[in-house]
């Protein structure tokens, strides 16, 4: 058996080959890194629309009388604020306040929550949640294999999706979801995404994925819709300064250090990690994730050493050329004294010290359409 034979595939694997996807190993999954190329795919999402297969992400259901109590105790954000069909970005932290994973919490009803987690965390998150569920009247189910997840992203996403469903999509606000039929397939459609653009994530049964994928690409063709791979997904999320688990946060970093304090509601009552995060907040941070821009044409990439005040103070957490902004940008953990906007430092690019500067994030913010 070769390594590739062990990789998992989504229900859209064959569709990717047909679309000319270049397949790579990502977190144990054989996924398309690109089709036409990261640059045209990135620009399509900013200016028209792109379609991503994100079926490698995991779906975990929490069902039962204590579903709310369990999810509230597992996550940093305040689940009590959610109404039926509402969606929330949140984190799971451990006792020491380290980030176990970031996730989306969907409240389907008060006894039914759906958690969408990173591909790399499916098994470990599921185990963690099951362990915490011991004294709760809930059933926790890892239903990842039964579902596919498509992300239709970009300013034209709504007009591309609308003809395929009877539900009026403009009635789904940002971070809300709805059970709707798309092309007769039962789906949960949410106005969410990881690109910094308007768009939808469409959760469907694995068996419906191929048909929906093909129909969307066909219907959206005239609007400029193209299939997009993981490379564009990464550059899009980085321009929007969305954190990537494993790069920008993990068990050794706290939500506050990762700049995700807005997802932590210390006043909501007890949750795992609360005390540690509270203590860190009172004590003050010694380091924090900062956004930077390279003042040179050389891109700074993941893992490149960072030099400030004459010494190496860390490595680039996420770094890349930004296709839409036409700059080289990144995120880096810095001692707090270096995180001031405008403060300058160096990135070591193959031994050459290249100047960079701390800037405001997000790097890119779409213009909202209020009509």
Partner 1 sequence: MANTPEDLTYTKDHEWVRVKGEEATIGITDHAQQQLGDVVYVELPKVGDKFETSEPFGSVESVKAVSEIYMPLSGTVAEVNDVLNDSPELVNEDPYGDGWMIRIKIDNPSQVDALLTSIEYEDYIKAETSE
Interface residues with partner 1 (CB under 8 A) are 33-34, 37-40, 42, 231, 235, 297-299, 301, 320-321, 323, 350
Taking the complex as a whole, how short is the minimal distance between the CB of residue 203 and partner 1, in angstroms? 28
Residue 201 backbone class (left: φ over 0; alpha: ψ -120 to 50; beta: rest): beta
Supply 318's token pair. 């996420």
Taking the complex as a whole, how short is the minimal distance between the CB of residue 314 and partner 1, in angstroms? 20
Taking the complex as a whole, how short is the minimal distance between the CB of residue 89 and partner 1, in angstroms? 26
Return the number of the residue (275 or 302) whose C-beta is nearest partner 1: 302
All residues at 6 or more sequence positions from 210 whose CB lies less than 8 Å from its CB, including other chains? 11, 12, 14, 15
Q: Which of 160, 243, 161 is nearest to 204 (CA)?
A: 161
Taking the complex as a whole, how short is the minimal distance between the CB of residue 354 and partner 1, in angstroms? 11
Q: Which helix (H) or strand (E) holds 215?
A: helix 209-220
Taking the complex as a whole, how short is the minimal distance between the CB of residue 317 and partner 1, in angstroms? 17
> Quick one: the chain helix, strand, coil %, rounded to 5?
30, 35, 35
Taking the complex as a whole, how short is the minimal distance between the CB of residue 293 and partner 1, in angstroms? 15
Taking the complex as a whole, how short is the minimal distance between the CB of residue 263 and partner 1, in angstroms? 29
Return the number of the residue (17 or 168) whose C-beta is nearest partner 1: 17
Taking the complex as a whole, how short is the minimal distance between the CB of residue 42 and partner 1, in angstroms? 7
Supply 146's token pair. 């039964």
Q: How far apart, in whole angstroms, are the C-alpha atoms of residue 163 and residue 157?
A: 11
DSSP state of 296: S
Return the number of the residue (63 or 298) whose C-beta is nearest partner 1: 298
Instruction: Judge whether 70 and 138 are in contact, CB under 8 Å.
Output: yes
Return the number of the residue (203 or 300) whose C-beta is nearest partner 1: 300
Dihedral through CA 39, CA 40, CA 41, CA 42, nearest 10?
A: 50
Return the number of the residue (33 or 295) whose C-beta is nearest partner 1: 33
Return the number of the residue (149 or 322) whose C-beta is nearest partner 1: 322
Q: How far apart, in whole angstroms, are the C-alpha atoms of residue 265 and residue 107?
A: 18
Distances (CA, A) of 287 to 117, 248, 253, 268: 26, 13, 10, 26
Supply 72's token pair. 């509230």
Q: How far apart, in whole angstroms, are the C-alpha atoms of residue 45 and residue 193?
A: 11
Return the number of the residue (133 or 322) whose C-beta is nearest partner 1: 322
Return the number of the residue (7 or 298) whose C-beta is nearest partner 1: 298
- Phi and psi at residue 198, in whole multiples of 5°? -65, 160
Measured from the Cβ of residue 18, the count of other Cβ atoms closer than 10 Å reads 12
Taking the complex as a whole, how short is the minimal distance between the CB of residue 93 and partner 1, in angstroms? 32
Q: How far apart, in whole angstroms, are the C-alpha atoms of residue 359 and residue 105?
A: 30
Q: How far apart, in whole angstroms, are the C-alpha atoms of residue 107 and residue 286?
A: 35
Return the number of the residue (42 or 265) whose C-beta is nearest partner 1: 42
Taking the complex as a whole, how short is the minimal distance between the CB of residue 326 and partner 1, in angstroms? 9
What is the residue-wise DSSP string for 31-63? EEEESS-HHHHHHHHHHSEEEEE-TTSEEEEEE
Return the number of the residue (46 or 107) whose C-beta is nearest partner 1: 46
């Amino acid at each position: 058996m070769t390594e590739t034979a062990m990789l998992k595939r989504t229900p859209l694997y064959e569709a990717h080959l047909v679309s000319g996807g270049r397949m790579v190993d990502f977190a144990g999954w054989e996924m398309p890194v690109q089709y036409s190329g990261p640059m045209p795919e990135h620009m399509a999402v900013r200016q028209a629309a792109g379609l991503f297969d994100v079926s490698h992400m995991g779906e975990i259901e929490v069902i039962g009388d204590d579903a709310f109590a369990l999810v509230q105790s597992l996550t940093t954000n305040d689940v009590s604020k959610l109404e039926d069909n509402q969606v929330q970005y949140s984190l799971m932290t451990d006792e020491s306040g380290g980030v176990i994973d970031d996730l989306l919490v969907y409240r389907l009803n008060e006894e039914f929550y759906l958690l969408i987690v990173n591909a790399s965390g499916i098994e470990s998150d599921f185990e963690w949640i099951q362990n915490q569920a011991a004294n709760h009247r809930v059933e926790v189910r890892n239903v990842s294999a039964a579902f596919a997840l498509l992300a239709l992203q970009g300013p034209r996403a709504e007009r591309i999706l609308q003809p395929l469903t009877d539900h009026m999509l403009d009635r789904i606000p940002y971070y809300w979801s709805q059970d709707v039929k798309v092309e007769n397939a039962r789906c949960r459609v949410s106005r969410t995404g990881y690109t910094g653009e308007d768009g939808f994530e469409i959760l469907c049964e694995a068996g419906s994925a191929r048909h929906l994928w093909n129909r969307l690409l066909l219907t959206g063709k005239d609007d400029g819709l193209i299939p997009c791979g993981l490379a564009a997904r990464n550059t899009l999320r980085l321009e929007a300064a969305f954190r990537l688990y494993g790069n920008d946060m993990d068990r050794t970093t706290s939500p506050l250090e990762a700049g995700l304090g807005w997802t932590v509601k210390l006043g909501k009552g007890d949750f795992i990690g609360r005390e540690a995060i509270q203590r860190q907040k009172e004590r003050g941070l010694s380091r924090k994730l900062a956004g930077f821009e390279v003042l040179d044409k050389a891109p700074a990439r993941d893992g490149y050493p960072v030099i400030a005040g004459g010494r190496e103070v860390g490595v680039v957490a996420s770094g890349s050329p930004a296709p839409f902004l036409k700059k080289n940008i990144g995120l880096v953990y810095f001692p707090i004294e270096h995180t001031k906007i405008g403060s300058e430092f160096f990135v070591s690019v193959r031994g050459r010290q290249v100047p960079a500067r701390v800037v405001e994030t997000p790097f890119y913010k779409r213009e909202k359409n209020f009509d």
